[in-house]
Chain A
């Protein structure tokens, strides 16, 4: 294809933002046919005429069927061991969100693509679609229905002073790894309002400006684990669970996270990887 994946996702995102907001409030009451049509529209907007195959059990979405808090819905995307080595990216689409393309993960050479997880906002009863893209350009899609509503315009920031004070700070934890050859499981937390721009000040009638993380890059000793193109659908204080394999020959190095947000702020933080036996 003629465009890079990054360009594609940006272009698709604009199309989605401008063209696909469905009218009418009662989207929870959509029929299955309407939902199928919605997905068909979205699929064409994001992937054009490319074939999108049913992933069967090769790709799975793990998320609660009914979300207790629509502003913080944990979503994990899993790929089978067989398919995982061929995967170079995963798209997460929340069909009925104002901006449906929630995330595009692009995996680097060090990623273990079998599982990646984050937390998202969900605006209405909707299908989630996860589409795994292989290195040779095949697309495998799977879907899951979620009951949640109001997540995109929901009240943000329980403690605004703390949010401001902690802006851009990150925290990473590594799960214990008994052997050096096993992949490393990491959990990354980022303090950022990831404001949707959908809240309006009742007194001034101005919208609170959108302020969200646009790209996230995670590297190990300069080599990519994954890059994320994201949007307002990622929850406040974004969270990512990911897995990677440091090169065997290398001595233990450093993991680095870099973020660019929609206000053009840049945040970066690094951590040394603890040795396996000491974890």
Chain B
């Protein structure tokens, strides 16, 4: 793609700064262009805090000849504004779509920053239900973690729901948005940019940071099989580097999920209680993942609850 001339960028910046005075925010959100027109901001491997403004997930945008699609607007309104500024420093094309890949706070709370662009807010057909169930809890938790920095971070109403597949035309490039069965959550979307063969997996792919199981362990392994069959040159994980080789990068995640499934089934069979099971599930994975102790026990509890019905 061709970038707009510098004068336009400057004009856009001036406009942005004039219309959205912000506290010390710059257009300086670090952004990597991983393929032509595909931009990723890498989240930090931390828990949400005022210092990181819940900027812990990989977020970004794809620019076509006519329009821009945001893929995950960020973990807070603050991060959303910074992402918007980063977009406006590169293009003045309209932001027509804001895709929320799933219900988790680190991916969605930046949406409010894009309201004035009047985009379609796109989510999985099951996302509204999940937002209804969890939204208030997530808002409270974000306020607890971020304090004042959480200000303006709100749930936005979705305008376009995806139950199987949705094609988005950005001008000269088409994005294929797919809705998946229960896996990381019960409302996961992935996006394939056909132009650059980039598969944006969001939290269906964790690299380095431990996967979080909040949908279905068995379902996730099943979805992985199908995702691996999608021809793509690179994938964008929800947590990890900006881009990884596909499908090779799926292996550590699959290994972890399979270990959890195998060992949790064994723990249930051995009548080890739900609270203690994690101590002997997938211990071989410790050391392979960041934040292992913070998330692994809950993953095992969730998996235990799922697998004890088998």
A complexed with B: yes
Give B185 Cβ to nearest chain A Cβ, in Å.
Answer: 7
Chain B positions 177 through 197: 1 when the CB is less than 8 Å from some CB of chain A, otherwise 0 = 000001001100000000000
B4 within 8 A of A: no
A217 within 8 A of B: no
Chain A positions 189 through 210: 1 when the CB is less than 8 Å from some CB of chain B, otherwise 0 = 1010000000111111000100
* The one of A63, A74, A157 that contacts B133, using a Cβ cutoff of 8 Å: A157
Given known contacts A119-B274, A208-B133, A160 and B186 CB-to-CB distance under 8 angstroms: yes
Q: Which residues of B contact A162 (CB under 8 A)?
A: 182, 216
Chain B interface main SS type: helix
**Cα A268 to Cα B302 with chains together (Å):** 26
* The one of A73, A150, A161 that contacts B275, using a Cβ cutoff of 8 Å: A73
**Cα A203 to Cα B138 with chains together (Å):** 13
* The one of B129, B130, B135, B305 that contacts A237, using a Cβ cutoff of 8 Å: B305
Q: Which residues of B contact A166 (CB under 8 A)?
A: 309
Which residues of chain A from 129 to 166 have any CB-CB distance to chain B below 8 Å in the complex? 150, 153-162, 166
**Cα A74 to Cα B278 with chains together (Å):** 14
Q: Is A159 in contact with B131, judged by CB distance below 8 angstroms?
A: no
Q: Is A155 in contact with B137, judged by CB distance below 8 angstroms?
A: yes
Q: Is A67 in contact with B135, judged by CB distance below 8 angstroms?
A: no
**Cα A201 to Cα B131 with chains together (Å):** 7
B118 within 8 A of A: no
B203 within 8 A of A: no
Q: Is B278 in contact with A68, judged by CB distance below 8 angstroms?
A: yes
B49 within 8 A of A: no
Q: Is B182 in contact with A208, judged by CB distance below 8 angstroms?
A: no
A64 within 8 A of B: yes
B126 within 8 A of A: yes
Q: Residue of A at shortest CB range from B273?
A: A74
Q: Is B137 in contact with A67, judged by CB distance below 8 angstroms?
A: no
Give the residue among A69, A171, A189 with the most B Cβ atoms within 10 A: A69
Q: Is A203 in contact with B278, judged by CB distance below 8 angstroms?
A: no
Q: Is A74 in contact with B131, judged by CB distance below 8 angstroms?
A: no
Give A82 Cβ to nearest chain B Cβ, in Å.
Answer: 25
Q: Which residues of A contact B298 (CB under 8 A)?
A: 68-69
Chain A interface main SS type: loop
Give A102 Cβ to nearest chain B Cβ, in Å.
Answer: 17
Give B298 Cβ to nearest chain A Cβ, in Å.
Answer: 5
A50 within 8 A of B: no
Q: Is B131 in contact with A202, judged by CB distance below 8 angstroms?
A: yes
Q: Which residues of B contact A203 (CB under 8 A)?
A: 131-132, 135, 155, 157
A175 within 8 A of B: yes
Q: Is A202 in contact with B139, judged by CB distance below 8 angstroms?
A: yes
Q: Is A201 in contact with B137, judged by CB distance below 8 angstroms?
A: no
Given known contacts A154-B137, A158-B186, A162-B182, A64 and B131 CB-to-CB distance under 8 angstroms: no
Which residues of chain B from 261 to 310 have any CB-CB distance to chain A below 8 Å in the complex? 271, 273-276, 278, 297-298, 301-302, 305-306, 308-309
A234 within 8 A of B: no
Q: Which residues of B contact A (CB under 8 A)?
A: 126, 129-141, 154-155, 157, 182, 185-186, 214-216, 219, 271, 273-276, 278, 297-298, 301-302, 305-306, 308-309
User: A67-B275, A199-B133, A201-B132 known; 8 other A-B pairs, CB under 8 Å?
Assistant: A64-B276, A74-B274, A158-B182, A158-B185, A158-B215, A160-B130, A203-B132, A237-B305
Contact sample, A vs B, 30 pairs, CB 8 Å cutoff? A64-B275, A67-B275, A68-B275, A69-B302, A72-B274, A74-B274, A150-B137, A153-B136, A153-B137, A154-B137, A155-B134, A156-B134, A158-B182, A158-B214, A158-B215, A158-B216, A159-B186, A159-B216, A160-B126, A160-B186, A161-B126, A162-B216, A189-B309, A191-B309, A199-B134, A200-B136, A201-B132, A202-B135, A203-B157, A204-B132
